Every structure is written in C-alpha cells, then in structure tokens.
Amino acid sequence: MQIVRTIVWVVLLIALLMFSAFNWNPVEVKIWEGLVLETKIPALVLVSFLIGLVPMWLYHRGMKWQLRRRISSLENAARTAAATPVVEPTAPESDVAPVTATPEAPEGELRP
C-alpha cells in the first residue's frame, strides 16, 4: 500500500512541476483599489491551495487528538471495570416463618 501512496505523490508532484513550468507568467492581482500584487501564477495557485488546506488540516488534527483522548479514557475505564470483580447480591435470609397454606384458628375458636 505504501508503494501506491508513493506513486500518487510522485504523479502529483510531476503534474505540479509541469503546471509551474508551462505557466511561469507574471500576473497582477488587484486586492484593493490601491493594492496590486504582482506574482507568478504557480505561486498564486499554491498560496490559494494552502489557504484552503491549512484550516481544515488543523481542524482534522484537533479532532483526531480529541478522539484519541476520549478513546484512551474509555479504554482505561473499561480496563478498570474489567479488573474489579462484580459481587452478585444474595437474597437475605429471613427470620420470619413461611406462610402456611391452611390458616390456623385462634385459640378458643372452632374451625368449621
């Protein structure tokens, strides 16, 4: 897989170099009314690309850092939960006698 990535980067670099060689012309960029920037086309394209790339790259790195911290926190919590044994509660023994099916008659009364 590394060879494919290297080939793609080499092809992109060659394309950028060819674009730069064929378009090495000065251009005037009018920023404001009194401010005119004279530069070469490849420099203008590269700066425009970086203006779009850098904020998204920084956002990506920040999210990646935040998610890695969250994952490591959850992994530590899972390890801690797995290390502590869970004791299942047992039913408490009752001192009360179980209820019988036939009720006993109080003393002095007759049962029918």
pLDDT in tens, 9-35: 999 999 999 999 999 999 999 988 989
pLDDT in tens, 36-94: 999 999 999 999 999 999 999 999 999 999 999 999 999 999 998 887 776 777 777 76
Give the H or E element holding residue 43.
helix 41-83
Tokens 């019988």 -> residue: 100
Determine contact, residues 42/19, Cβ cutoff 8 Å: yes
Q: Helix or strand or coil: residue 26?
A: strand
pTM for this predicted structure = 0.60
Characterize 72-105 residue by residue with b for buried, 16 or more Cβ atoms within 10 angstroms of its Cβ, and e for exposed: eeeeeeeeeeeeeeeeeeeeeeeeeeeeeeeeee
